[in-house]
Chain A
Amino acid sequence: MKNIIGREVPEYIEGIGEIDMFVGAWEKLRKGWMDEKTISPPNKAKMPHQCKSCLTFEEAITNSSPKNGMTVSFHHHLRNGDNILVRSIEILANMGIKNITLAASSLNEIHDPILKYLKDGTITKIWSSGIRGEIGKAISAGVLDIPVIIHSHGGRARAIHTGKIDLDLAIIAASAADEEGNATGSFGKSAFGSMGYAGIDSRYSKQVIVVTDNIVEYPCVPNSIRQSFVDYVVEVDSIGDASKIATGSTRITKSPMDLRIARLGAEVIEHSGFFKQGFSFQVGAGGASLAVAKYIREKMKKAEIKGSFILGGVTSYGVDMLNEGLFNAIFDVQSFDAAVCSSLVENRKHIEIPAALYANPYNCGCMTNKLDVVVLGALEIDLNFNVNVITGSDGTIRGASGGHSDTASGANLTVVVCPSFRGRLPIVKKSIHTVVTPGETIDVLVTERGICVNPMKPELEQNLIKAGLNVRKIKDLQQEVEAIVGKEKEVEYTDKIVALIEYRDGTIIDVIRQVKRNG
């Protein structure tokens, strides 16, 4: 059946069950509670002075009593420098464990080597906020029988609270830990900053292993993971390559196009009505999105505006703005830049927050609900402002839901910055491959060829027109783009569903179907 935003989603899916349909961005929240029950964290005990240290990673995993059908979780704070996820799966596979549900907060290209375990039945189910590289391609080609579930960062916390993701083993990489498992990402040779996504795993998983390449003298302070939740601690040579955590995403782009779009984005924010004393702000890392911060920084100085807080994935650019006094605090759920670590340790206004506080819609104070302005990217956007950040132009999975829908839902002003086309591929389109973030939560689209305001925000449109900005109808822009790049060849799909897009409230907003192979 077609859901409320016109996406074809079956009411029942094999391997998943009945589908809870998306009913609108805020519809389920209006009640003030959720129908699903939350589960209790596991009860565990240790004998007095029982040693948690293991000699090898294999020993730690063996001690956690792995079994067929288990769910194993990982955080993605090491991004594309992660050495732990692949190694863990290899160990489990060597032990003959089958039918694993992988609950990684995100998957990157570095995780490509686990593809063979998707093929041989070691991993049969995946929950993740993002999937890239060969794994994304293989899933789109139908390598798994059970559809993958793509959740948002806030949605993941919710799903763990409700037991939809029922964790048996959490393997938590840390750049420093003590023998009891107090652990952090904020210092050590592989420092990666905040451990925002790992906290809830340590609390809810039946077994918890902290893996580090830096055992420190007891106690490890500051710590993000507490000893009371940790079963085993193991030291390895290297948890990952810290230089690949950033992957260059925190440098301000030199691309003239991205800078042009970013400048327009900053002008939109300036004239939106939300650029005022005490405003809160979030930008994504990389490309035009981060570059918006560069221009906002200049505008804040010029207008002598001081903001309240910076939220989100934090870059050294955000830290500079905090240090200049442009914002009062940073709430940091993940750090995009190793340079952020010293600030996290030394500046008490740089506050590490867990995923649930960041974005879980089902609590009384998620930070995304307090956001004034968020700047986001898009792989595609349709005439109703629905945004795709997960599938590429060929219909395969190659992106991340991340905090996109969480922040869009919460912010007073959600600005999407992207070029109107890339190469010969249209970004602004009549219809998009996949909807991750519903258009009702997107306020304005900023491209190099014009600014389009969601018709649900007439006042914003008036403000931008008054400021002399190039405001135009999204349909006109889409037609111009089509005239430039031509009509796209339709991607052909089979009926097989390879992934579900879960909205942050747990409903299903869209599905991804298997891409038909040529010939």
Chain B
Amino acid sequence: MKKKRRTMLYIPGNNPAMLQQGGVYGADSILLDLEDAVALNQKDAARILVRNILQSTNFYDSEVCVRVNHLDTPFGLEDLNEIVPLQPDAIRFPKTETVEELAKLIKIIEAIEDKHNLPHDKMTIHAMIETALGVQNVFEIAKFSKRVDAITIGGQDLTADMNIISTKDGSGIDLARKMIIMAAKANKIDAIDTVFVDVNDEEGLRKETEYGKQIGFTGKAVINPRQIDIIHDVYMPTEEEIRKAYRIMKEFKKNKKAGIGVFAIDGKMVDAPVMTRAAHVLELANIDFDSI
């Protein structure tokens, strides 16, 4: 079953207690952050800490990603040298703007992997779009390499780059959100929404997550573990959706045995896209397709 990415929990790379507990909150992904969460004078300490944590800590079922610093900073290369050999599930690359810099990143990653006799197809890359230029190039970025399996939007930086005021309704970055989703969907990869910064506004979080789900985001970044349950709740299909998906998949199995590709339920045609959607619903509801 494809891994769910409804929630991606940011954990500052310089906070040992939070890093150690990262896996216990049930987030689909956790993101050990070496970039914006870490002050300039703590970059080295955070890198060493995250390196050690990756080797010693059980993150249970969560996917583990590390956000490195950009290659334009003095820290980016050092981050990759330390982290790539440990092969977390993914590297998140901030402020991705062009395919050229993505090519440079992948080249460095693969060189490190070669040095350590590691495969090139295990650790994936999440390209983070945080500038207007990145948004303009997002389709090419999403398409560039098979290693890129998620596009994420960094709302705070994008707002700053666009020189607009951040509003709760997110109207300023709405187009960017949709362009990123479209680019991701066109390349069959995940699109992850930006964080909701007011951790005490549970209703606001719910509303924004519902909107994100509606326009096509696969999941949402999280800055406080308290936000996880609300997002999972939003992404949980309704009972009616689950029942319908269950019926579709059951019929599909039956018809497949009989060699029938397209069939109808309640007079409505069921074809490949409908089945893909049904499989996704079951996956979100934690129902194993093969157990049906």
A residues at B contact (CB < 8 Å): 254, 256-257, 259-260, 263, 423, 448-449, 468, 480, 484
Contacts and interface: CB of A to CB of B under 8 A. Distances in A.
A256 B58 contact: no
A449 B20 contact: no
Interface in B1-56: 17, 20-21, 24-26
Given A254-B226, A480-B58, A260 B24 contact: yes
24 contacts: A254-B226, A256-B25, A256-B224, A256-B225, A256-B226, A257-B21, A257-B24, A257-B225, A259-B225, A259-B226, A260-B24, A260-B25, A260-B26, A260-B225, A263-B229, A423-B17, A448-B21, A448-B24, A448-B25, A449-B24, A468-B286, A480-B58, A484-B20, A484-B57
Interface string B191-208: 000000000000000000
Nearest to B225: A256
Contacts of B24: 257, 260, 448-449
Nearest to A260: B25
B239 to A, nearest CB: 12
A245 B81 CA distance: 55
A423 B17 CA distance: 8
Contacts of A257: 21, 24, 225
A254 B21 CA distance: 16
Nearest to A263: B229
A489 to B, nearest CB: 20
Contacts of A254: 226
A423 B21 CA distance: 11
Secondary structure at chain B's binding surface: helix, strand, loop or mixed?
helix
Given A263-B229, A480-B58, 14 more contacts: A256-B224, A257-B21, A259-B225, A259-B226, A260-B24, A260-B25, A260-B26, A260-B225, A423-B17, A448-B24, A448-B25, A449-B24, A484-B20, A484-B57
A254 B202 CA distance: 12
Interface in B239-264: none
A263 B286 CA distance: 18
Most chain B CB atoms below 10 A, which of A254, A260, A263, A480 = A260
A468 B20 CA distance: 24
A259 B286 CA distance: 22
Contacts of B25: 256, 260, 448
Contacts of B225: 256-257, 259-260
Most chain A CB atoms below 10 A, which of B21, B57, B286 = B21
A425 to B, nearest CB: 12
Contacts of A259: 225-226
A480 to B, nearest CB: 7
A332 to B, nearest CB: 30
Interface of B: 17, 20-21, 24-26, 57-58, 224-226, 229, 286
B223 to A, nearest CB: 11
Nearest to B23: A449
Minimum-distance CB pairs A-B, first 10: A256-B225, A448-B24, A256-B226, A260-B25, A449-B24, A259-B226, A256-B224, A260-B24, A260-B225, A256-B25
A471 to B, nearest CB: 14
A228 B225 CA distance: 56
A256 B10 CA distance: 14
Nearest to A295: B229
Contacts of B226: 254, 256, 259
Contacts of A256: 25, 224-226
A448 B24 CA distance: 6
Contacts of A263: 229
Nearest to B199: A254
Contacts of B20: 484
A472 to B, nearest CB: 11
Contacts of B286: 468
A263 B226 CA distance: 11
A468 B287 CA distance: 11
Contacts of A423: 17
B201 to A, nearest CB: 13
Nearest to B224: A256
A254 B200 CA distance: 9
Nearest to B286: A468
A260 B23 CA distance: 12
A448 B225 CA distance: 12
Contacts of B224: 256
B281 to A, nearest CB: 18
Contacts of A448: 21, 24-25
A342 to B, nearest CB: 27
Contacts of A484: 20, 57
A480 B20 CA distance: 13
Nearest to B21: A257
Most chain B CB atoms below 10 A, which of A254, A256, A257, A260 = A256
Contacts of A260: 24-26, 225
A484 B226 CA distance: 24
A277 B16 CA distance: 44
A81 B11 CA distance: 39
A256 B224 CA distance: 7
Contacts of B58: 480
Nearest to A423: B17
Nearest to A259: B226
Most chain A CB atoms below 10 A, which of B17, B21, B24, B58 = B24
A378 B278 CA distance: 45
A257 B21 CA distance: 9
Nearest to A468: B286
B12 to A, nearest CB: 14
B196 to A, nearest CB: 15
A259 B226 CA distance: 7
B210 to A, nearest CB: 18
A469 to B, nearest CB: 12
A480 B58 CA distance: 9
Nearest to B9: A256
A77 B58 CA distance: 44
A127 to B, nearest CB: 39
A349 B258 CA distance: 65
Nearest to A485: B20
A480 B226 CA distance: 24
